[in-house]
Amino acid sequence: MTRRAVAIGVGHYLPDRIVPNAEFEKTLDTTDEWITSRSGIERRHFAAPGQTTSDLAARAAMAALKMAGLTGNDVDAIILATSTADLTFPSAATMVQHAIANTKGYAFDIQAVCAGFTFALSNANALIVSGQANRVMVIGAETFSRILDWTDRGTCVLFGDGAGAVLLEAQDGNGTTDDRGILSTDLNSDGAYRDLLYVDGGISKQTTGVLRMEGQEVFRHAVEKLAETAHTALDKVGLTADDVDWVVPHQANIRIIKSTARKLGVGMDRVIVTVQDHGNTSAASIPLAISVGVQNGQIKKGDLLVTEAIGGGLAWGAVVIRW
Ligand code: UT7
């Protein structure tokens, strides 16, 4: 028997305020047409003043618990992928722990920027497979609206706020790729590219800072690395892109999503796309897309999913999971 980390619940939360592209036309030299055609983004959600990343994360976690028919104390560990934690410390995950009334487990944040959810899933899988946890709440949540330069039209129109959560549970499988659960993971980073996408402030600089990005360069790396990491993750368990029911990509740019699908040889009818409604929500984008895909009836129990993401670091990765 093989211990597997199987998804038993999923949920998401988006703040109420929806900002269409046209809003940016009032303050920036930009157009709805440019944003839509270059990125695929039509609108995004922004958190209300005072609404924090852990507020969004807790709501997504509650939704995942509800789907699983469980309560906070049924969870052994909470891993929150975020680059926009409420405070310098403690972790936003501990705030979620308190909000969902978990008094028995342990909670911590993971920071791998837009690739954060793939890193969090991989770490949650390791905790479950090694027997250190039976149920892990894996969350991606961000309030990127707090770290945008509203005068930089090349970045501020691209990002949004939101949260998604997947609840994993240890279950016995037979050790084949027919098992439900996480089947393989592939994680990478290369700090040589740290200047392509970063925030120009931080704790030890004593400022919050704002996001800076060499968009074209990040685009080039994304197109090169995303299909590669998805192929590697599939390869590790002897699967190919033909076996995949759904690609669930990081939602940064529809042109990157289409190009990666093309490289994988997967038609767009097998790709979950939410970028038009959410914008780039960094670590939240994959669990948001999974949750929307499940809610829409696209992703069904037993489907083979491959998720892939890249972001600041650069850090990138992929996870193969049978839903
Ligand atoms: O989630 C982390 C990973 N991040 C990503 O994957 C993002 C990767 N990069 C991208 O998605 C794209 O590079 C962008 C959407 C950021 C930009 O698209 P692009 O096709 O690479 O445009 P560009 O940066 O080459 O800019 C083309 C032109 C420039 O004007 P000139 O120099 O040709 O006159 C920009 O100044 O578009 C201009 N531009 C804009 N024009 C209107 C840049 N931003 C805007 C804007 N509105 N908002």
- The average confidence (pLDDT) of the chain is 98
CB of residue 193 inside a 6 A radius of ligand 1: no
The answer to whether the CB of 102 is under 6 A from ligand 1 is: no
Residue 17: C-alpha distances to residues 81, 253, 276, 278, 319 (Å): 23, 21, 15, 11, 31
Neighbours of 51 (CB within 10 A): 16
Q: Kindly report the pTM of this predicted structure.
A: 0.97
Instruction: Measure Cα distances from 271 to 67, 144, 246, 247, 282 in Å.
Output: 23, 25, 5, 5, 18
- Closest listed residue to residue 119, CA positions, set 323, 322, 310, 302: 310
At residue 280's C-alpha, the angle toward residues 278 and 283, to 5°, is: 105
Q: What is the pLDDT of residue 77?
A: 98
Calculate mean pLDDT across residues 258-286. 98
pLDDT in tens, 120-139: 999 999 999 999 999 999 99
Determine which residue's CA is closest to atom 35 belonging to ligand 1.
Answer: 154
Nearest CA to ligand 1 atom 20: 38
Q: With a 6 A CB cut-off, is 311 part of the ligand 1 pocket?
A: yes
pLDDT 10s digits, 294-310: 999 999 999 999 999 99
* Nearest ligand 1 atom to alpha carbon 250: 1
User: pLDDT at position 29, please?
Assistant: 97
pLDDT at 221: 98
Residues 6+ apart with CB under 8 A from 302: 180, 322, 323
Topology adopted by domain 181-322:
Peroxisomal Thiolase; Chain A, domain 1 (3.40.47)
Question: What does the angle CA 119 – CA 122 – CA 128 come to, to the nearest 5 degrees?
Answer: 140
Q: What is the CA radius of gyration of the chain?
A: 18
Is the C-beta atom of 90 inside 6 A of ligand 1?
no
Residue nearest to atom 39 of ligand 1 (CA): 154
In 3D space, the residue among 318, 316, 319, 311 whose CA is nearest the CA of residue 114 turns out to be 311
Q: With a 6 A CB cut-off, is 212 part of the ligand 1 pocket?
A: no
Query: Region 258-269: what's the mean pLDDT?
Result: 97
Rounded Cα–Cα distance for residues 12 and 32 (Å): 27
Among protein residues, the one with the nearest Cα to ligand 1's atom 42 is 30
Q: Taking Cα atoms as reference points, which of 12, 287, 288, 29 lies closest to residue 157?
A: 29
- 140 ligand 1 Cβ < 6 A: no
- Is the separation of the CB atoms in 287 and 117 below 8 Å? yes
pLDDT interval class at 55 (50, 70, 90)? very high
Give the tens place of pLDDT for each residue, 146-196: 999 999 999 999 999 999 999 999 999 999 999 999 999 999 999 999 999
- Distance between Cα 89 and ligand 1 center (Å): 34
Strands 161-173 and 211-213: unpaired
Contacts of 57 (CB under 8 A, 6+ apart): 13, 80, 82, 92, 93, 95, 96, 139, 141, 163, 165
Same topology, domains 2-173 and 181-322? Answer is yes
Position 74 scores a pLDDT of: 98
Q: Does residue 146 line the site of ligand 1, with CB under 6 A?
A: no
- Average pLDDT on 276-280 reads 98
Q: Which of 24, 34, 150, 219 to mutate to test the pocket of ligand 1 (most atoms within 8 A of CB)?
A: 219
Contacts of residue 3, defined as CB under 8 A and 6 or more positions apart, other chains included, come to 128, 129, 131, 170, 171, 172, 173
3-state class (DSSP) for residue 232 = helix
Distance 215 CA to ligand 1 centre (A): 6
Ordered by start, the domain boundaries in the chain are 2-173, 181-322
CATH number for domain 2-173, candidates 3.40.47.10, 3.40.50.300, 1.20.1050.10, 3.60.10.10: 3.40.47.10
**To test the ligand 1 pocket, which listed residue (37, 38, 41) has its Cβ within 8 A of the most ligand atoms?**
38
Residues carrying an active site annotation: 114, 250, 280
Tens of pLDDT, residue by residue over 20-43, are 999 999 999 999 999 999 999 999
Query: Is residue 57 within 6 Å of ligand 1 at its C-beta?
Result: no
Per cent of the chain over pLDDT 90 is: 100
